[in-house]
């Protein structure tokens, strides 16, 4: 018997993906550099479906039906290149290598171009949902050629999460498009998590609620428009008691957040594309600030406001809910702007509404909210920003007074809320009739003769600042 698809790299993600495929009735070849993992998988889960274990790359490749579908689930970076180099010489034109790791989209573009020369399809694929998603249905974001999707799509759609029968998997676009979209997904995830963290901090320090009480607030929010996986797990974490101390679990965790890099890539890429993603950037920086233990220790005695609590009266939790919802809309608007800019830059022709559709379930940012985004793009596929969608504009308009009050309260009490504040500044910047960028242009012209444009005439102009200050057109 031949395998329909193969998975090499059988750590948590690869193992669970292979089991998911087998459980769906697809015979799956399995391979791992260290063959103990392969044996363990078959011993523990062999009864879940048809596994074809292989000890060597040659055996593995020989056990695959043609055209071969080979999924690589190894550590991103150099290990992925090593595995590609090992397997590519064993493949034939028309075969497919699917990289399901968290690769940088630029690496995916490079690998795709090089394998295309050999006639092999390289399919950089974003997979979200963690360990659990890989087993029970992740959100899958495949890039690569349309031909490869024709051969792979049905299999991937079969094992993906579903919403009302619609798979959380679609062809994103050529070469690096899938990994690009997965990267932005993770950037949005950073932003969403930061906004939730700020909400918790305000409810605790401004409103004086205990973690278990805040868990209840989040549980209530999870029955409304904020319903999402991240809000759900937040309530679980806040309600959890530490066995050793008997106190709230959240109080015994060291307050230094770590990161693996996809949030940073999202911001670096946004800078290159010239897309303002302040919400994602502040989320990355917030983790960074938290990790600077020495800097924080040295600054601990800096003065704060005289009043440090009790500034939040009745209705504060509702105000925070509004601030969170409005800021979340901004975070997603910024992320989708980056997707559209990347798509234009690289000629990917990504359908943003389809991305919202496949993020509705399976992935970490899965939420009821994503169906609203899908609907917004359905109503206007070319909308320049989600903020102007009728539903979102109304929601933000309704939330904005509370949102402003929450930022004021945070500022007054000295509680950092960079996510809320930057989202609000972005909203007000987009709304503004005039921005002080006019003054910035004047300064640039003054010190560097960088020229400026006028509101009333076409062309570039320069004022002779060091001379008689007459204006010259260029």
CB of 441 to ligand NDP, least distance (A): 43
Distance in Å, CB of 29 to ligand NDP, minimum: 15
Active-site residue, from 112, 189, 198, 321 = 189
Residue selected from 24, 66, 75, 431 as contacting ligand NDP according to rule CB under 6 A: 75
Q: Which is nearer to ligand NDP, 187 or 311 (CB)?
A: 187
- Per-position x/- string for 77-106, each x denoting binding to ligand NDP as judged by CB under 6 A, each - no binding: --x--xx----------------xxx----
On whether 178 is known to bind a ligand per the annotation, the reply is no
469 is in an annotated binding site: no
From the list 331, 392, 1, 289, the residue with the least C-alpha distance to 193 is 331
139 vs 191, beta carbon nearer ligand NDP: 139
Catalytic annotation present for 43: no
Are residues 376 and 383 in contact, defined by beta-carbon separation less than 8 angstroms?
yes
In the complex, minimum distance from the CB of residue 423 to ligand NDP, in angstroms, rounded to a whole number: 27
> By CB under 6 A, is residue 232 in contact with ligand NDP?
no
Does the footprint of ligand NDP cover residue 261 (CB under 6 A)? no
Does residue 394 have an active-site annotation? no
Q: Which two tokens stand for residue 212?
A: 């278990």
Does 11 show up as a binding residue in the annotation? yes
CB 309 within 8 A of CB 370: no
Query: Which of 7, 30, 54, 76 lies at the binding interface for ligand NDP (CB under 6 A)?
Result: 76
**Residue 248 CB, nearest approach to ligand NDP (Å):** 26
Catalytic residue, candidates 112, 157, 182, 338: 182
Q: Is 132 in the site for ligand NDP (CB under 6 A)?
A: no
Pick 79 or 291: Cβ nearer ligand NDP: 79
Tokens representing 298 are 């040295």
Residues in binding site for substrate: 102, 128-130, 185-186, 190, 260, 287, 444, 450
Task: Just list the catalytic residues.
Answer: 182, 189
Would you tell me which residues interact with ligand NDP (CB under 6 A)?
9-14, 32-34, 37, 73-76, 79, 82-83, 100-102, 127, 130-131
């Amino acid at each position: 018997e031949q395998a329909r698809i193969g998975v090499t790299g059988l750590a948590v993600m690869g193992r669970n993906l292979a089991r998911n495929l087998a459980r769906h009735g697809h015979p799956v070849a399995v391979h791992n550099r260290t063959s103990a993992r392969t044996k363990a998988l078959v011993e523990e889960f062999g009864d879940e479906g048809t596994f074809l274990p292989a000890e060597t790359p040659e055996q593995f490749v020989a056990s695959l039906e043609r055209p071969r579908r080979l999924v690589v689930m190894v550590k991103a970076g150099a290990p992925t290149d090593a595995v590609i180099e090992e397997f590519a010489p064993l493949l034939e034109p028309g075969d497919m290598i699917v990289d399901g790791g968290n690769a940088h989209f630029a690496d995916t573009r490079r690998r795709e171009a090089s394998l295309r020369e050999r006639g092999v399809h390289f399919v950089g694929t974003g997979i979200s949902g963690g360990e659990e998603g890989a087993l029970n249905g992740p959100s899958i974001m495949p890039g690569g050629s349309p031909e490869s999707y024709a051969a792979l799509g049905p299999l991937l759609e079969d094992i993906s999460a579903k919403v009302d029968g619609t798979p959380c998997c679609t062809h994103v676009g050529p070469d690096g498009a899938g990994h690009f979209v997965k990267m932005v997904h993770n950037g949005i995830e950073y932003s969403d998590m930061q906004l939730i963290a700020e909400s918790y901090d305000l409810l605790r320090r401004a409103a004086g609620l205990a973690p278990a009480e805040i868990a209840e607030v989040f549980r209530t929010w999870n029955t409304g428009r904020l319903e999402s996986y991240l809000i759900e797990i937040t309530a679980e974490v806040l309600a959890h008691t530490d066995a050793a101390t008997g106190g709230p679990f959240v109080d015994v965790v060291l307050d230094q957040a770590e990161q693996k890099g996809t949030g940073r890539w999202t911001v670096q890429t946004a800078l290159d594309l010239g897309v303002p993603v302040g919400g994602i950037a502040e989320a990355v920086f917030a983790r960074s600030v938290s990790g600077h233990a020495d800097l924080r220790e040295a600054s601990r005695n800096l003065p704060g406001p005289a009043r440090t609590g009790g500034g939040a009266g009745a209705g504060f939790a509702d105000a925070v809910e509004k601030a969170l919802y409005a800021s979340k809309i901004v975070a997603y608007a910024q992320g989708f702007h980056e997707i559209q800019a990347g798509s234009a830059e690289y000629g990917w022709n990504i359908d943003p509404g389809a991305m919202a559709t496949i993020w509705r379930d399976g992935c970490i940012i899965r939420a009821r909210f994503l169906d609203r985004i899908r609907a917004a793009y359905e109503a206007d596929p070319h909308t320049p920003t989600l903020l102007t969608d009728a539903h979102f504009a109304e929601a933000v308009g309704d939330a904005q007074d509370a949102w402003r009050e929450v930022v004021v309260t945070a500022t007054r009490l000295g509680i950092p809320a960079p996510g809320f504040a930057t989202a609000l500044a972005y909203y007000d910047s987009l709304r503004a009739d005039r921005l002080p960028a006019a003054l910035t242009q004047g300064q640039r012209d003054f010190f560097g003769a960088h020229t400026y444009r006028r509101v009333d005439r076409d062309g570039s102009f320069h004022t002779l600042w060091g001379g008689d200050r007459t204006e010259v057109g260029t």
